[in-house]
Structure 1
């Protein structure tokens, strides 16, 4: 199975390299590429979050990511256990402080969320990953065609 992980805009080159280095220590990179996110892509990627939070975060997410380039790392994942390990390594919660200390979101997430008019908190995480293998398949299908990515 493939699992796309992407590094969001605003991530410094130093942090980007540290994220990549950390993931390469444990996971097999199949490809990497840079893509520009469209609204249709964002809707697929963030659908699960908005279902849970009644879409309060949609405007903020669009402002943060729409039309911006992200670096996508596509990992070859052997089984569910390895997939769960990837989720844990990236971070299992949107709130960086609720993630394991060794996770990328804990290490590089914004310690101060933005409070939206609705009172919901918006966390600026530099790295995104799907939560389940099924979500990974949906993300991959929405984000990529064969010519979008080059092999590393």
Structure 2
């Protein structure tokens, strides 16, 4: 058996459907003879760029095993397409999975379950922002003293206009 790691991304708008999506991905892998290992990592994060109009998403990483070529040949089944190619194609066609990657797990560190911690949301300026900590006070910019404007009478302004306009 060869061990693989599947990491896929589900948009935040589909968070209520997450159990169904996880089950669907699991069915895709098990239909090709794969078996999932117990540990799964799930993390909600802001994405670096927008994917299919989603800016936040849930990253899910799971390990699974698939029989290697020798085990498939020993079972006597005729396989025209590698099971990994079938899994890839099914995940590409899934509308619920935004992005995914399948890697060989032998070179990767062990998966660790990340405890899910919700940050408190703070309402400000008409929107919801996550509280990041206390803001530092902004330093005040030095202000230059204002010079008093010289008072000019209307007669002086009229004289200057006549001189410039040649009236």
TM-score range, shorter chain: 0.3 to 0.5
Greater radius of gyration (CA): 2
Q: Which has the higher contact order (CA 8 A, sep 6+)?
A: 1
More helix by percentage: 1
More strand by percentage: 2
Question: Normalising by the residue count of structure 2, what TM-score does the alignment of the two structures yield?
Answer: 0.40
Question: Normalising by the residue count of structure 1, what TM-score does the alignment of the two structures yield?
Answer: 0.43
